[in-house]
Amino acid sequence: MSAVAPDAGGGADLKSKTVATWLSFALGSLGAHRFYLHGFGDKLAWLHPLPTLLGLYGVHRMDTLGQDDVTAWFLIPLLGLMIAQSMLAGIVYGLMPDERWADRFNRGVLRKTGWLPILGVIACLMVGGACLMATIAFSAQRYFESQVEAAREISQ
């Protein structure tokens, strides 16, 4: 049977489900939740910042060059997908049972969590759903606009 410890304080290497959920919400597209849970040696965490920064660069390009910038069309969905995947990670972390969390991240030491991870899950659902739908809509719009342009060029 696992020992029960409060969610605040405790051992230095025990990981909080609340912190992981909210890190995923706030800075998950940069991999902060993975750095928190697995350390700076986590190779998957280091794969997060580049696509996020490329997506932000695409937003900057579209802001400065306008909507006709094709490079921005390809870069902006990267940002949307990185935000959506980090929201999904926050949902998974927040809904993980405390016993499974203890076995996976805290060497079997059970820390009871309250409602803060659930509030994080609600926030992740709202932002993640909106971001994913916006990314799909943006990508589809740009694809169909490029098809219309290609058809116009063929017909002339």
Beta-carbon contacts of residue 26 (< 8 Å; ≥ 6 apart): 32
| Closest C-alpha among 29, 32, 48, 23 to residue 120 | 23
pTM: 0.84
- Res. 11 pLDDT band, cuts 50 70 90: low
**pLDDT tens digits along 104-136:** 999 888 888 889 999 999 999 999 999 999 999
Question: Where does the pLDDT of residue 77 fall: very low under 50, low under 70, confident under 90, or very high at 90 and above?
Answer: very high
Q: Which residue type does 61 have?
A: R
Q: How many residues does the chain have?
A: 156
